[in-house]
Structure 1
């Protein structure tokens, strides 16, 4: 029975190719990303120092604040709808009470 060639032997054509790509260079995007990353780190450290570890804003905290704000807006909207309905009812009642000439 014939032996199967190894994967490295299967596609050998006698030519050796280099797999090393071009040497990476530092560009403007790399510098910008580095500066942005450092700035985020500084802001995060400063926030921890100023407000304390227990009061640092988190995604969960931001989401809860958004939920509370949505509930407050819904309550205000419901109160406004109730007031408008009361005014409309009072206006209709006043119109009904006026004597017809």
Structure 2
């Protein structure tokens, strides 16, 4: 269960990162609200997962899921540009995350 919560928390990191950008420095109400709610839920999930997953592994997976999710959101929805080399680099991150899970 902790691993599922950790991955969902990493996905919520993507939500708060995109919402932070959309808030334009907290000048827009609803993106700022989405940022705050998703940040609290993401951190809460990370805290829950770290009760059973070592902090080094848990934090790395949480950040990695957030990094991959945010980069993909930027490429596909925010016009940051898609390229095969970028996608391959993100796949390397995913391989590293799977490796951390398998070695846990």
If the length of structure 1 is used for normalisation, what is the TM-score?
Answer: 0.26
Structure label with greater radius of gyration: 1
Greater RCO, CA 8 A, separation 6+: 2
Q: Which has the higher helix share?
A: 2
If the length of structure 2 is used for normalisation, what is the TM-score?
Answer: 0.26
